Structure 1
Amino acid sequence: MRLLAIILLTLLLLPTTPAAAATNLAVAATPSASYTSPWENVNAINDGVDPPRSNDTANPRWGTWPETGTHWAELTWPTAQTLTSAEVYFFDDGGGVRLPASWKLQRWSGGTYIDIPGTYPTAADTYNRVTFPEISTVRLRVVLQSGAASVGLLEIKAYGESGTPAPWNPPAHLVTPLNEVWQHVESTYPNLYGFRNYGWDQVMANGGSINYCVRWDSNATVTAAQRDRIHATLARQFKKWTDLMIGQEGWPYTDVPVKVVGWAVRDRNQLQWTDDSVDIYVGDIRENAPQCAPACGRFFNQNGTYPNCPGGAARHYDMSLWLTAGMGGGAGGDWGQRLGSEYYLANLDADNMHILLHEIGHSFGLDDFYDWTPSGVCCFLMKAGSASSITEFDAWMFRDWWRHLKSRYGL
């Protein structure tokens, strides 16, 4: 009995293997469709760009106008993928392309298409999610039945717990401009591969998260509600970038949480809360602005240790969100992002805070395009003033950075 008890205790103490996180496998597939309007693009359905709304006029989309009736869009993989759920984002411009009357998913069984059972919601301005018992297939088809007009899609996501990571396979029309950009980066920044404080380095050092400290460079007061909304907005905008990496080139995370661990101010009375949810730094003025404790900042401690940080390594910050009264435009780098405090507060509910998105791009290494434009592209977020949200080209430039740097993490 004693031996049996020891065996049982040992089994109970053995570590369990966590379930694998679901990965969007759609980005590794080749898209096709029954029909595509000449001015639309079927590659839009799995380009990894999250649409801001169903009537998205900024990013590529797939539509069937003027054709109506039953139409389909399909993802095809070179090898079988194990899937457990899918999401679709409908294209609806309020005119010739509207929400479908109904839709369904089908899998290819090797000889025919088989309907996938599930509940199929039909809503605008959001992803419509369907879960189903685990399936294995090389093709996933979205079948749409038109209602008031033609039909279309902005994005398809197909989730599974296994599958081949997406290969480097940008759309053909972006291959040349992407190569031009990387050649420009390598020739312009000689310490490119030696520098170790890009946003990539920070996320990887933390095991898949990022910490911020807010530099409140303003004489205005801040309520606890405003503090929390400033945090939520930052997290939402940061997520727009990191979500682009899911399933790409061995990227190991499906979510990158953003935590605000501190605030820096000139006067403690500006912060109208008494809880201790964040560290507060008062009166340390650098660059004529309040500074979070350097001992806690990765910019000042790039070896990743924080022996003199009052809160310890758990309270360190990787970047600063520097909000400056009266500032127009923005700045960004490995230290964080700087933009106008009034602009930030006025856009707390905006789907795309384009200045912040642009500056976060710089923190991950993406360049400016003030004096040149890559071949075949015109308007994208990192070319300041030409786009207000992350475009297909921005997304692939972002992924290209990871492709070139991931070896430093043994991936």
Structure 2
Amino acid sequence: MRHASMQSSSSPNFSCSARRFLAAAAFVGLGASSFASAASSEAATFGDITSANGECVVGNPNTYISTKYLDWVWDNRIGPNVDVSKESNWKVMDNKNWIMDHIVHNNGTLNYCVRWDSIDKLSKSMASKFQDALTRQYKAWNHWLIGYNCWPHEEIKVNIVGFAVKDASLLDWTDDSLGKIYEGDLDNDGVPQCPQSCYRFYDNGISGWSDTSACKSEPFDVFLQPKKGLDGGFGYDYGQAVNQEDMLSNIDGDQLTIIAHEIGHGFGLPDFYEANEQPGTDFPNCLMKAGSSMTVTDSDGWMLRRVLEHLKPRYNF
């Protein structure tokens, strides 16, 4: 399955989420979805540093992926001059609602709504693992941002603030200890959602962040949608939809391949499925080249750093 370019929504109305969802679809083949992560709490290598003394540290890779290939990805897949008539490309600079934008806006925090898109009952013991599982995926990505270009966040704190279900009987708990429970609020596709008034996003219509003052609980930035029977996953700035069965069976793994891949789309990184979407036949394995790696690699990390370099002028650090 392919994905198309799309821009951030100018309205928090989830009635448009089906359009956004399909437009940015990214299929990841199922399989072994849990591998040990290579990430650690320390920063990844800065490669050949190109910044002057006293400036924020930036550089170019000197192993694994070449600077030439890295620049090609920016120039031909996600930069300001890419051909967006090709549905696999998008312009990162045109969107101010990326996950990175949320992290900076929230000072290192991301709030999640879980949209339980299933007829299966979810136990509290299983649901209580979701937040830590998401945190591990962001740790793997943040490993490449720590210390780079003055990125100020040593960790990304994930909070699950709500569970949306069609019927509360699908949960085996009734209190709000894991986040507020929302019952029966469905989008146009019949998928449960947290209240639109609680969706915090960059609204192009007002050139600023959405007003969540009417939210009766905590606002959320992105969602996690475990969907029963879904082939692989979907992801963009709105969050991640993933195969429920695969996610639950691998929930204790260090790196959950499908979720981590879809988070990569939320950071603005594209898929690399076809030969013409890659800079060369020897383009190194990476998580965003589905099937070639189960974990975040140096290629993924350096592509994320390039995104930070170009988005940094909009941030105050």
Please give the TM-score of this superposition, normalised by the length of structure 1.
0.58
Alignment-derived partner of residue 69 in structure 2: 177
In structure 1, what is the equivalent of residue 194 of structure 2? 292
1:337 and 2:240 aligned: yes
- Is the Cα–Cα contact under 8 Å of residues 73 and 278 in structure 2 kept in the other structure? no
Paired amino acid for 1:408:
R
Deviation, structure 1 residue 284: 1.3
* Superposed CA offset, 1:215-234 (max 9, x none): 00001112221111122111
Identify if the C-alpha distance between structure 1 residues 156 and 370 changes in structure 2 by more than 3 Å, giving closer, same or farther: closer
Alignment map for 1:44-59 (pairs within 5 Å): 52=36
Question: Which letter maps to 1:291?
Answer: Q
Match of 2:183 in 1: 282
- Contact residue 212 and residue 321 of structure 1 kept, 8 A: yes
- Which residue among 253, 256, 259 is the counterpart of 1:353? 256
Tell me the residue number matched to 2:51.
none
The answer to whether 1:220 aligns with 2:120 is yes
Q: Deviations over 1:145-185 (max 9, x none)?
A: xxxxxxxxxx899xxxxx87432232265201100000011
Structure number with greater CO (CA < 8 Å, separation at least 6) is: 2
Using the alignment, how far apart are the partners of 1:300 and 1:294 within structure 2? 14
Which position in structure 2 is the counterpart of 1:249? 149
Distance in 1 separating the partners of 2:309 and 2:283: 21
State the partner residue of 1:167.
58
The one-letter code of the counterpart of 2:279 is P
Relative to structure 1, the CA distance from residue 191 to residue 362 in structure 2 (aligned partners, 3 Å threshold; closer, same or farther) is closer
> Residues 331 and 174 from structure 1, CA distance in 2 versus in 1: closer, same or farther, beyond 3 angstroms?
same
Matching residue within 247, 250, 263 for 2:163: 263
Please give the alpha-carbon distance, in whole angstroms, between the structure 2 residues aligned to 1:267 and 1:362: 30
**Cα drift, residue 237 of structure 1:** 1.3
Q: CA RMSD in A?
A: 2.5
Alignment length (residue pairs): 257
Counterpart mapping for 1:399-410 below 5 A: 399-410=305-316
Equivalent AA in structure 2 for residue 352 of structure 1:
Q
After TM superposition, where is structure 1 displaced by more than 4 Å over at least 4 residues in a row?
299-302
1:304 Cα deviation from its structure 2 partner = 3.8
Structure 1 segment 16-55 matched on structure 2, within 5 A: 52=36
Counterpart in the other structure of 1:116: none
1:54-203 correspondence to structure 2 within 5 Å: 165-171=56-62, 173-184=65-76, 185-186=78-79, 187-189=82-84, 192-203=92-103
After superposition, what is the alpha-carbon deviation per residue over 1:59-109, rounded to whole angstroms, capped at 9, x for unaligned?
Answer: 7xxxxxxxxxxxxxxxxxxxxxxxxxxxxx9xxxxxxxxxxxxxxxxxxxx
Q: How far apart are the structure 2 equivalents of 1:299 and 1:251? A: 21
Q: Larger strand proportion, structure 1 or 2?
A: 1
State, as a whole percentage, how many aligned pairs show the same letter. Answer: 36
How far has the Cα of 1:191 moved from its partner? 5.2
Alignment of 1:374-393 (within 5 A): 374-375=279-280, 376-393=282-299
Q: Secondary structure at the match of 1:254?
A: coil
Q: CA deviation at 1:202?
A: 0.5
Name the SS of the counterpart of 1:181 in structure 2.
helix
CA distance in 1, matches of 2:124, 2:266: 27
Question: 1:369 is matched by which residue type in structure 2?
Answer: F
Asked if the contact 1:248–1:399 (Cα under 8 Å) also holds between the matched residues in 2, the reply is yes
Contact residue 299 and residue 334 of structure 1 kept, 8 A: no
The higher radius of gyration belongs to 1
Q: How big is the shift at 1:299? A: 4.2
User: Deviation of residue 239 (structure 1)?
Assistant: 1.6
Q: Report Cα offsets for 1:369-407 as digits up to 9, x if no partner.
A: 122222342421101111111111111001110011011
1:188 CA drift (Å):
3.5
